[in-house]
Amino acid sequence: MTTPRLRIAVQKSGRLADRSLELIAGAGLRVLKGVNELLYRIENQPIDLLRVRDDDIPTFVADGVAELGIVGYNVLAEHFPDADLESQIVQRLGFGKCTLKIAVPNDAVYEGPQSLEGKRIATSYPNILGKWLKNNGVNATIVEMRGAVEVAPRMKIAHAICDLVSTGATLEANGMKATDLVLSSEAVLIKAPHAPPADLEHIYDMVVHRFDGVTASNGAKYVMLNAPREHLDEIIRLIPGADAPTIMPLAGRDDAVAVHAVCQENVFWDTLDKLKSAGASAILVLPIEKMMR
């Protein structure tokens, strides 16, 4: 009998592909890049990566072809416009961040959603846009395009577009400006509606916990410093995102203590300057490699 293997659907190539593989490697899963382009094996765990187009991931996971999947929230929301997405999402992964926005030519007047009344809007996200227009009480024609949405106004196909934006460079290069936010997105880990088979449950739980650990430690820092007791409260307040720091006595000193804290966010130089001004000394900021919550 062959051992059952957990399947994780990932984007084969594209903007989420590398970061998905980094997450998987960060979780200690060793990817064996095989001859089979569709399926990569994990050599140290009974797991396979199903490598597909991102548009196929929500359906594959919903149908149970894969137990887990990594996909943009935008793709999930477009696929299941009427579903309860939160029940499908296991965790937000903190990468692939972008926004779906309405954009119009630089010289167009835009005074809010009502400016779109009776207009034509090009997008690859007709379901999300349709819902947004309805919520805003706007009647407009949606022109569905698979790609190159940003050229639609210049080609006189549409008056406005609804497209993903990250840096805004594409809009700028096409003489357009971003206006209303329709959706904020990032990569999410999604799960099949049914629980995994009993013999894969522990692998499933392990993957979810480890992914959570990698995501949590992303950018997180371990801060150590000495603080005079009289300024302790102020110094703790200055440490970004520190939850319940450890306070320890310093040998031979009654006036100061050592403070150790896990910071959920990066610690920048200006924070160190403020800590120093508040009286902190011997400040160390260390990267965190792994974290298990």
Interface segment toward ligand PRT; rule CB under 6 A; list 51-59, 61-69, 110-118, 154-162: 51-59
Length of the chain: 293
Q: Does 54 sit near Zn ion (CB under 5 A)? A: yes
Q: Would you say 88 or 185 has its CB closer to ligand PRT?
A: 185
Q: Does 185 sit near ligand PRT (CB under 6 A)? A: yes
Helix/strand/coil percent split, the chain, to 5:
30, 35, 35
Q: Does 17 sit near Zn ion (CB under 5 A)? A: no
Q: Does 75 sit near ligand PRT (CB under 6 A)? A: yes
C-alpha angle 61-216-38 in degrees, rounded to nearest 5: 30
C-alpha to C-alpha distances, 248 to 139, 225, 231, 260, nearest whole angstrom: 63, 10, 15, 8
Q: Which helix (H) or strand (E) holds 42?
A: strand 39-42
Q: Does 234 sit near Zn ion (CB under 5 A)? A: no
Q: Which long-range contacts (CB under 8 A, 24 or more apart) does 107-115 make?
A: 108/159, 108/160, 110/160, 110/177, 110/179, 112/180, 113/137, 113/138, 113/180, 114/138
Contact predicate 31/72, CB 8 Å:
no
Q: Would you say 2 or 167 has its CB closer to ligand PRT?
A: 167
Binding residue for ligand PRT (CB under 6 A) from 24, 104, 164, 225?
A: 164
Q: Does 169 sit near ligand PRT (CB under 6 A)? A: yes
According to DSSP, residue 218 is labeled: T
**Among the listed residues 47, 64, 73, 59, the one whose alpha carbon sits nearest the alpha carbon of residue 204:** 47
Neighbour tally for 218: CB within 10 Å = 18
Q: Does 212 sit near Zn ion (CB under 5 A)? A: no
Interface segment toward Zn ion; rule CB under 5 A; list 53-61, 231-239, 241-249, 268-276: 53-61
Q: Does 96 sit near ligand PRT (CB under 6 A)? A: yes
96 binds, among Zn ion, ligand PRT, none (CB under 5 to 8 A by kind): ligand PRT
Q: Would you say 51 or 221 has its CB closer to Zn ion?
A: 51
98 binds, among ligand PRT, Zn ion, none (CB under 5 to 8 A by kind): ligand PRT
Between helix 17-26 and helix 201-217 the angle, nearest 10°, is: 110
Q: Would you say 54 or 212 has its CB closer to ligand PRT?
A: 54
Q: Does 179 sit near ligand PRT (CB under 6 A)? A: no
193 binds, among ligand PRT, Zn ion, none (CB under 5 to 8 A by kind): none
Binding residue for ligand PRT (CB under 6 A) from 167, 198, 243, 251?
A: 167
